[in-house]
Amino acid sequence: MAGTSTPGKKLKKNLGLFSVYAIATGTTLSSGLFLLPGIAAEQAGPALIFSYLIAAIPFIPAILCIVELGTAMPKAGGVYYFLDRTMGPMLGTIGGIGTWLALVLKVAFALIGMGAYISLFVDDVKITEIAVVLAFMLAGLNLLGSKKTSGVQIGLVAILLTILSAFIIDGFVEINPEHFNNLFNVEMQSILSTAGLVYVSYVGMTKVASLSEEIEDPERNLPIGIFLAMITSFLIYGLGTFVIVGVVPMDILTGDLTPVATAADIMAGEFGVIFVSIAALLSFISVANAGVMSSSRYPLAMSRDHILPAFFRKMLKNGAPINSIIITTLLLVVILIFFDPTKIAKLASAFQLLMFALVCLAVIVMRESRIDSYDPGYKSPWYPWLQVVGIISPMFLIFEMGWVAILFSLGLVVAAVLWYNLYAKVRVRRSGAMYHIFERLGKQRYDGLDTELRGIMKEKGLRSKDPFDEIVTRSNVLIYKDRSNFEDILVDAAELLAKKIPISKEKIVKMVLDGTRVGATPVTRGVALPHFRASGISNPEMILVRSEGGIKIKIFDPLTGKEESEEFVNAIFFLASPEENPSLHLRILAQIAGRVDDPTFSEEWLAAKDEQQLKEALLHDERFLSLTISKTTLSESLITKQLKDVQLPDGCLVALLQRGGDMIIPDGKLVFHEGDRLTIIGEKAALKKLRAQFLT
């Protein structure tokens, strides 16, 4: 339906921590070291070293903000998605189209650099023609899917880092101190302008954010992978440019398109040239490979939101967005044929600086909107001062880069605004988090964003420290045989909850009924989920209810408060959480909703024979292990042992024990008997070890 996001087919989560690190590192260590130092030397001389350091200043706030937004909204499209959901579809269109083009420009620059290094060994070669051929080859690789593409990326980066480390270590021995004589004689304006030029060196690291939908456990792997890549890149660029300036005379370095090879030639002759040229080729292949993969996700994401035609939404069985990859590659080829490669970096840097300033603003908007479902796994520090620096410093660098860069960025903005007004505006009825700030000021809000963010929380699942398992295992259970009314069951549940939280039974009943009348009680797939947050509650608590005959619950119109209809459910989960932790409350709700959506839930819930099996139906087999102690399995070794003497894998906990008809909460002194049924909760890896230990 036009106006809202249309997710369509989801991308497969094929990218682990090493893939994130390899993509972020590989897209960063390319033209910035192997191509740009010679161009930068034309403007800043030996002070190009300072330009690389200064360029990192606006990059740090931007990357920290991108990591925060990426862990809160791990969806395809990266910067586009962040800007669209924070400040609305017009800015999203500007960010999406502009960043897509900027990333393609970065890939084009990498392919030109690759051609330059190939020309060292092949006479009379046309760099542009080589770059075009390589572009089509990389498109073919990307059509194989992100899993195979990321595997190639890991191998490329491993070899690249090995060669670069050897280059830097050997280079320090060959440094000529006289090459730094004019280091402090360069005008600051030239250094700053060059910083804007070389800023593109760091931009590639952010590409992985556009792939966050394909990252396994993005709240962990995205920040760790990017931060490791950031440290690696700062070290390589800082030490690498120092070695290049120290080894290569400035008159030779100036304008050189193969500066690393030139330095290696001085250090080790022809062997050195071959050695670093291999690294250069691997680097350019790496950045171009990851660049095609990440930039192609921008048209896909914009197509899902109706900003680009549905044509871009088509995907292969392996999850590769085929049409998006093809169009991105054709755009790349056009740029290679018609643009001057030495100017590409500056144009790409200028627009990217503008986008990174807006990303820092997006974090401010999201935090000030105070949407409970905005739940990043990582929060950028020093708020809001870090974000303010991240907004101001890119703007300063853009103006230092000159009018060509400024006009190029403005041209992209104008083109994107025209596209939005002529094509997308009539198809989109969506606003960003900015409207939630307006709502606080008494104007308006867009509830669809909160709904979408809750859906993202459901996809992300629980965090490792979330006590969902413990909440379920300590919850009280009410079982009814006959058909019942919601209000009658609520009184029973409130009486149990009042023993766990410092709120009276009467107040609990009132809060739940008030929430139900305004539509705050989700009812779906035969399950109702009344919930509330209140001050004074120390930990989330639940009451689980099952009725074989069904429970009648009234459905109210949230606008009028009038009863609309009645539904019968077989399960009710009452949840009470601390007022101070809305994100945990929403993650628990999202986890329950995800389990309820599982086709196996209803059958397991209704088939459960006792309280323990009901809890296990909610926990599901990925989060718990049910173990019956028997002489026919390895669990025989547990008989007559005390719990404190049993060596369980780290991360496992015996939460419940059923003996006969009794339910026992185990402690360390508990002695196991044959026939005892244990419910053990823990991490997947730990439970896997436990199965091998006792169930084989």
Residue 621 has pLDDT above 80, yes or no: no
Q: How confident is the model at residue 116, as a pLDDT?
A: 72
Q: How confident is the model at residue 534, as a pLDDT?
A: 92
Going by C-beta distance under 8 Å and a sequence separation of 6 or more, which residues neighbour residue 431?
A: 88, 89, 444, 445, 446, 448, 449
Fold of 17-427: Amino acid/polyamine transporter I (1.20.1740)
Q: How confident is the model at residue 498, as a pLDDT?
A: 94
Q: How confident is the model at residue 496, as a pLDDT?
A: 94
Band (pLDDT 50/70/90 cuts) for residue 537 is very high
Residue 120 has pLDDT above 80, yes or no: no
Q: How confident is the model at residue 25, as a pLDDT?
A: 86
Tell me how far apart the alpha carbons of residues 567 and 26 are, in angstroms, rounded to a whole number.
Answer: 55
Angle, alpha carbons 447-448-451 (nearest 5°) = 95
The pLDDT > 70 percentage for the chain reads 90
Average pLDDT, the chain: 83
User: Token pair for residue 617?
Assistant: 């139906």
* Tens-place pLDDT, residues 315-332: 887 777 888 888 888 888
Residue ranges of the chain assigned to CATH 1.20.1740.10: 17-427
Contact of 640 with 569, CB cutoff 8 Å: no
Residue ranges of the chain assigned to CATH 3.30.70.1450: 621-696
Tell me how far apart the alpha carbons of residues 337 and 611 are, in angstroms, rounded to a whole number.
Answer: 70
Q: How confident is the model at residue 1, as a pLDDT?
A: 39
Residue ranges of the chain assigned to CATH 3.40.930.10: 461-611
The residues facing 552 across adjacent strands are 485, 568
Band (pLDDT 50/70/90 cuts) for residue 450 is low
- Going 236 to 237 to 243 to 249, the CA torsion angle's sign is positive
Band (pLDDT 50/70/90 cuts) for residue 558 is low
Average pLDDT for residues 305-309, to the nearest whole number?
88
Residue 505 has pLDDT above 90, yes or no: yes
Q: How confident is the model at residue 253, as a pLDDT?
A: 92
pTM over 0.95: no
Residue 155 has pLDDT above 50, yes or no: yes
Tell me how far apart the alpha carbons of residues 666 and 217 are, in angstroms, rounded to a whole number.
Answer: 32
Residue 288 has pLDDT above 80, yes or no: no
CATH of 621-696, one of 3.30.450.20, 3.40.50.620, 3.10.310.30, 3.30.70.1450: 3.30.70.1450
Band (pLDDT 50/70/90 cuts) for residue 303 is confident
Residue 472 has pLDDT above 70, yes or no: yes
One-letter identity of residue 420: Y
Residue 440 has pLDDT above 60, yes or no: no
* Tens-place pLDDT, residues 335-372: 888 876 556 656 667 787 888 889 999 999 888 887 87
Q: How confident is the model at residue 564, as a pLDDT?
A: 77
Q: Which CATH superfamily is domain 461-611 in?
A: Mannitol-specific EII; Chain A (3.40.930.10)
Tell me how far apart the alpha carbons of residues 280 and 501 are, in angstroms, rounded to a whole number.
Answer: 63
Of the candidates 473, 479, 474, 468, the one whose C-alpha atom is nearest the C-alpha of residue 609 is 479
* Tens-place pLDDT, residues 241-254: 999 999 999 999 99
* Tens-place pLDDT, residues 375-432: 888 999 999 999 999 999 888 878 877 788 788 888 888 998 999 999 988 887 666 5
Q: How confident is the model at residue 578, as a pLDDT?
A: 92
* Tens-place pLDDT, residues 8-61: 456 667 788 888 888 888 778 877 888 889 989 998 999 999 999 888 888 899
426-431 CB contacts, 8 Å cutoff, 24+ apart: 426/2, 427/2, 427/3, 427/306, 427/307, 428/2, 428/3, 428/89, 428/305, 428/306, 428/307, 429/2, 429/3, 429/4, 430/3, 430/4, 430/5, 430/84, 430/88, 430/89, 430/305, 431/88, 431/89
Tell me how far apart the alpha carbons of residues 366 and 594 are, in angstroms, rounded to a whole number.
Answer: 25
Q: How confident is the model at residue 541, as a pLDDT?
A: 94
Contact of 540 with 500, CB cutoff 8 Å: no
Q: Find the largest Cα–Cα distance for the chain.
A: 92
Tell me how far apart the alpha carbons of residues 146 and 13 are, in angstroms, rounded to a whole number.
Answer: 9
* Residue 520 burial by Cβ neighbours in a 10 Å radius (0-12, 13-18, 19+): middle
Residue of higher predicted confidence among 432 and 613:
613
Lowest mean pLDDT, pick from 333-347, 543-557, 570-584: 333-347
Band (pLDDT 50/70/90 cuts) for residue 542 is very high
Residue of higher predicted confidence among 91 and 684:
91
Band (pLDDT 50/70/90 cuts) for residue 622 is low
254-267 in b/e burial notation, b at 16+ Cβ within 10 A? Answer: bebbbbbbbbbbbb
Contact of 477 with 521, CB cutoff 8 Å: no
CA 329 vs CA 140, 210, 482: distances in Å: 10, 17, 64
Residue 267 has pLDDT above 60, yes or no: yes
